[in-house]
């Protein structure tokens, strides 16, 4: 039982390049999330998926797209990376409690630098 | 949107000391969680506590939903307790506070 896994762990991009961050969970959770964490700040929600086949914008969705590929996998895509997207990206999953989020379990994070 | 404030912003303790971290939130919530981010960046869920009191070893948490605050107690602190403690609340999506940076010195 690996929990939540993310790839890659580190990535350096040039401005304008694209990339996809991968996330998978093996806990049979319905809900999955992408957050970014900037220095000295808490986590901010980018996108989430309450269940397979659905995705919704979070607090800071601009510049990102997501795909809920199946129940296990939720990917985050940067189409044209910008220096402002330099951050640590965390994926999380949880069981839903109706409209509420249950305990969230986090992956190890991806440290992204955009030059 | 809902505001989450944590205090103190940072804290230095000697090993063995006790501490209390506070989380205030600006609106009623139906979910409150405490997380620990260790110095290597890993986020660990400590408590799911929208109301009431829970204990897990040396850690305990109390949420008074009617007064819109939660407290995290750390007793007999250890160096491994160092890191950032986040409070996160939601009505439907989690909103994180900016955290309390804790350093426990041997």
Structure tokens at B50: 């929208």
Q: Decide if B78 contacts B52 (C-beta within 8 A).
A: no
Could you tell me if residue A3 is left (phi over 0), alpha (psi between -120 and 50 degrees) or otherwise beta? left
Residue A39 contacts B where some CB pair is shorter than 8 Å = no
Q: Decide if A90 contacts A115 (C-beta within 8 A).
A: no
The pLDDT confidence band at residue A97, using thresholds 50, 70 and 90, is low
Tell me the CA distances in angstroms from A20 to A36, A43, B43, one per residue in order. 14, 20, 22
Across the interface, whether the CB atoms of A45 and B94 are under 8 A apart is answered yes
- Pick A108's closest partner by Cβ from B33, B42, B98: B42
Please tell me the predicted confidence (pLDDT) of residue B92. Answer: 72
- On the question of pLDDT at B6 being above 80, the answer is yes
Structure tokens at B65: 């939903």
The pLDDT confidence band at residue A99, using thresholds 50, 70 and 90, is very low
The pLDDT confidence band at residue B15, using thresholds 50, 70 and 90, is very high
Please tell me the predicted confidence (pLDDT) of residue A96. Answer: 65
pLDDT in tens, A70-81: 999 999 999 999
Nearest CA in chain A to B2: A59
Please tell me the predicted confidence (pLDDT) of residue B104. Answer: 97
pLDDT in tens, B26-85: 998 888 999 999 989 999 999 999 999 999 999 999 999 999 999 999 999 999 999 999
Please tell me the predicted confidence (pLDDT) of residue A62. Answer: 96
- The terminus-to-terminus CA distance of chain B in angstroms comes to 41
Please tell me the predicted confidence (pLDDT) of residue A53. Answer: 87
pLDDT in tens, A15-71: 999 999 999 999 999 999 999 999 877 899 999 998 888 999 998 999 999 999 899
Across the interface, whether the CB atoms of B42 and A109 are under 8 A apart is answered yes
Beta bridge partners of A25: A4
Across the interface, whether the CB atoms of B93 and A58 are under 8 A apart is answered yes
Q: Decide if A71 contacts A100 (C-beta within 8 A).
A: no
Which of A27, A36, A43 has the most B C-beta neighbours within 10 Å, making it the best mutation to test the interface with B? A43
In terms of pLDDT, which residue wins out, A50 or B99?
Answer: B99
Please tell me the predicted confidence (pLDDT) of residue A100. Answer: 53
């Amino acid at each position: 039982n690996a929990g939540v896994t993310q790839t890659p762990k580190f990535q350096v991009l040039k401005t304008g390049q694209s990339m996809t961050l991968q996330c998978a969970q093996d806990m049979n959770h319905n809900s999955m999330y992408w957050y970014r964490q900037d220095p000295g700040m808490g986590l901010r929600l980018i996108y989430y998926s309450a269940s397979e086949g659905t995705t919704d914008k979070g607090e800071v969705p601009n510049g990102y797209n997501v795909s809920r590929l199946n129940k296990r996998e939720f990917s985050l895509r940067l189409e044209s990376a910008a220096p402002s997207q330099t951050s640590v990206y965390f994926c999380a999953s949880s069981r839903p409690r109706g409209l509420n989020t249950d305990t969230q379990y986090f992956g190890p994070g991806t440290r992204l630098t955009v030059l | 949107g809902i505001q989450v404030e944590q205090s103190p912003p940072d804290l230095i303790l000697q090993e063995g000391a006790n501490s209390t971290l506070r989380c205030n939130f600006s609106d009623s919530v139906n979910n409150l969680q405490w997380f620990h981010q260790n110095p290597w960046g890993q986020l660990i869920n400590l408590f799911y506590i929208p109301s009431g009191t829970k204990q897990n070893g040396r850690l305990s948490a109390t949420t008074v939903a009617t007064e819109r605050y939660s407290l995290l107690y750390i007793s007999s602190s250890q160096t491994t307790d160092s890191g950032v403690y986040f409070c996160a609340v939601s009505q439907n999506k989690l909103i994180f506070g900016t955290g309390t940076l804790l350093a426990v010195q041997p």
